[in-house]
Structure 1
Amino acid sequence: MKKSYLFLLLLILTIISLFVGVHGVSITGLLEGDEIERMLFIKTRFPRTISLILAGGMLSVGGKIMQHLMQNKFVSEGTIGMMDSARLGILIVMIFLPNSSVLTRSLAAFVFAYVGVLLFLSLSKVLPKGDPMILPLTGVMFGNIIGAIATFLAYQFQVVQNVSSWLQGNFATVMEGSYELIYVTIPVFILLYFLGYQITIAGLGSELSTNLGLNHQRLQWIVFALVALGSSSVLLMVGAIPFLGVVVPNLVSLFYGDHFKNTMGLTAIFGAIFLLVCDIIARVLIAPYEIPVSVVVGVIGGALFLFLLMRRKQA
C-alpha cells in the first residue's frame, strides 16, 4: 500500500471515530451549535480518538524498537514483562497510597516497567540463542510470574475489582480531564525519532554497533526508558491492549522492510489505523452496547499472530 493511502485511511478512520457512537454527533449539529453534540464531541469523542491514535502508535513503535534492538520478531512490551511490571507498580501504589495522584501512579508504573525490562535484558543474556521463540516464551513466563505476584497482592489487599477495571483495554471511559497523561507519548515519539539512526545501527548487534562508535548498552538503557515511559502512560490511561506491539511491526516489515528510521512513522500510523478499526468494530458490533477494544484486538491480533507464526514456519 502506498504511504499516501495510509495517511488517507487514517484520516477517514479518524473522522468515523469522531462521529460513531451511541449518542449521535453530526457535522450539521456541530455547525448549528447544538450544545449536547458539542459537549459530547469535546468531552468524549475527541479525547477518545486522540487516545486511540497515540496509544496505537506508541505500542506499535515500542514493539518495533524491542524487536529491532533484541533482534527478535516476536518480542514486545507485552511479551518481555514490561507491562506486567508496570501493572505491579500501579497496584503497589493503589495499596499503600490509595489517595495518590495520577502523576504518582504514572511514576510508579514507569519505574517498575523500566526495572522489569532491565531485569529481562539481564535474563536474556543467559538464554540459548538458537531458537527465536525462546526469548518471547521466556518473556511471557517472566511476565506471568510478575502478574502472579500482582494477583496475589490484589487478593491479599482486596483490590481485585479495582485492578480488573483498568487491566482491560477500554476507551469508553476516556474523557476530557482524565486522559491528558497520554500526551506524554508525543515527546517520546519525537525523542525516539531523533534517535532513529542510532537505533537502526544498534539493531545490527552489540559488537558491530560498538565498532561503529556507538555505545550500545547506554543507547539501550535510554531507548528502553523512553519506551517504558510511553507504554506505561498508555497502560495507566486505557489499560492493556494485547498483540499490538507484535503484530503491527511485523506487518509493516512485510510491506516496507526492516529499516527502523525509515519505517518508524509508518509503524505508528499503521498501529493507529489498526486500533481505530478495532475500536470502531467494538462500538458498532453489538450497538448500543460496547465491547472492550482489547477483546477485538485480541481476536484480530491473535489471528494475525498465528498467520505470522505459520508464515515463519513455511519460510
Structure 2
Amino acid sequence: MRASLFGLFILLCGASLLVGARQVAWWPLSGDAWLTLTASRLPRLAALVLTGIGLSVCGVILQHVVRNKFVEPATSGGLDAAKLGILVSLTLAPTAGTAGRMLFALAFCFAASLGFVAIVRRIKFKNTVLVPVIGLMYGGVLSAVAEFHAYRNNILQSMQGWLLGDFSRIVQGHYEIIYLILPIVALTYLYAHRFTVLGMGEGMATSLGLNYPATVALGLMLVAVTVSATVITVGAIPFVGLVVPNLVAMRYGDNLGRSLPIVALAGASLLLACDILGRLLIHPFEVPIGLTAGGVGGLLFLALIVWRNR
C-alpha cells in the first residue's frame, strides 16, 4: 500500500510538470523550456506538495486536540479567521509585507482555534457530527465579519479572487514562505506520540504524565502557522485536512508515529490530483484548486458523515 501510494505520488508529480497552458518541448531542453520549468512548474509543484502535506497534518492535529474526526481548519473557523486577519492587516498596516500579513493571519487563526476548542470543551457534544456543524457556523460568523470589513473598506470585490485557493499565481520568488511548513511537519512528527496521547482525552493524557494545556497550545500554534502560510501564499483550500486523515486512519489507525508519513503523502497526492483536474477541465484555462478540492473534498466529507452515522 505504501509503495503504491508513493508510486502514485511520483506519477502525479510528473503529470503536474507536464500539464500546463503552454505546451513545452522538454527534449531537447531549450532556454524557454528551462525558464518555464524553473520559474513556474517546479515552484508550483513544490507549493502543491507542501500545501497538501501541511493541510493534512493540520487536520490530524486538530482532530486529536478536539477528539473529533470531522474537524479541520475549514470546519473549525481557522481558514476564515486567517482570511479575516489578512483583511485587517491590509487596512491597519497597508505597508506591511507578506510576513506582516502572515503574522496577522497567524494571530487571528490561533485565537479562533482557541475559541473553538473552548466552545467544544464547554458544550461537550454527545453527537460527534454536531462538532463540525458548530465549527461551520463559527466559521460562517468569522467569514461574515471578514466580508463586512472588506465591504466597509471597499475591497470586497477583489477579496473573493485572491483568497480563493489558486496556484496559477505561484512563480519563483513569490511563494517561498510556504517552506515554513517543513519545520512544522518535522515538529509534528517529533511530537507524534504526544499528539496521539492527546487524542485519548485530558484525563488519560494527564495521568500518563502529559502536560495537556501546553501540548494543546503547541498543536494549535502549529496549525495556525501552517494555515496562515498557505492562505497568504495560495488562498483557502477546504476539506483536505478532513478527508485524508480519516481515510488513512480507517486503514492504519490513529498512531501518528506510524500513520503521519502516510497522511502527508496522501494529502500531497490528493492536492496534486485536484490541481491536475482543474488544469484539464477547461484547458488551456484552469479551474482554481479551491473549487476542485472543495468539490471533491465536500463529496468525500458527506460520504464520511453518512458512513459514520451508519
1:288 is the counterpart of 2:287: no
Name the structure 1 match of 2:27.
28
The amino acid of 1:23's aligned partner reads R
Distance in 2 (CA, whole Å) between partners of 1:154 and 1:72 is: 33
| The one of 239, 243, 259 aligned to 2:239 | 243
Q: RMSD of the alignment, in Å?
A: 1.1
Matches within 5 A, 1:175-194: 175-194=171-190
The amino acid of 2:253's aligned partner reads G
The amino acid of 2:174's aligned partner reads S
TM-score by length of 1: 0.96
Q: CA deviation at 1:159?
A: 0.7
1:260 is the counterpart of 2:256: yes
Matches within 5 A, 1:227-238: 227-238=223-234
Distance in 2 (CA, whole Å) between partners of 1:136 and 1:303 is: 15
1:50 is the counterpart of 2:46: yes
| The one of 77, 87, 98 aligned to 2:83 | 87
| The one of 135, 139, 145 aligned to 2:135 | 139
The amino acid of 2:121's aligned partner reads K
> 5+ unaligned residues in a row in structure 1: which ranges?
none
Name the structure 2 match of 1:14.
13
1:203 is the counterpart of 2:199: yes
Larger displacement relative to structure 2 (132-141 or 43-52): 132-141
Matches within 5 A, 1:296-307: 296-307=292-303
1:152 is the counterpart of 2:148: yes
Name the structure 2 match of 1:112.
108
Name the structure 1 match of 2:92.
96
Counterpart contact for 1:66–1:75, Cα < 8 Å = yes
Name the structure 2 match of 1:310.
306
Larger displacement relative to structure 2 (169-178 or 290-299): 290-299
Distance in 2 (CA, whole Å) between partners of 1:226 and 1:129 is: 25
Q: CA deviation at 1:100?
A: 1.5
Distance in 1 (CA, whole Å) between partners of 2:116 and 2:182 is: 26
Q: CA deviation at 1:27?
A: 3.4
SS at match of 1:78: helix
Deviations 1:210-241 (A, max 9, x none): 00110111100011101110111011100111
Counterpart contact for 2:167–2:288, Cα < 8 Å = yes
Q: CA deviation at 1:69?
A: 2.1
SS at match of 1:75: coil
Q: CA deviation at 1:193?
A: 0.7
1:195/1:26 Cα in 2 relative to 1: closer, same or farther (>3 Å)?
A: farther
Q: CA deviation at 1:26?
A: 4.1
Name the structure 2 match of 1:163.
159
SS at match of 1:25: coil
Indicate the percent of aligned positions where both proteins have the same amino acid: 37
Counterpart contact for 1:68–1:260, Cα < 8 Å = no
Deviations 1:60-106 (A, max 9, x none): 11101111221101011111111111111100011122222001001
TM-score by length of 2: 0.97
1:70 is the counterpart of 2:66: yes
Distance in 1 (CA, whole Å) between partners of 2:196 and 2:25 is: 44
> 5+ unaligned residues in a row in structure 2: which ranges?
none
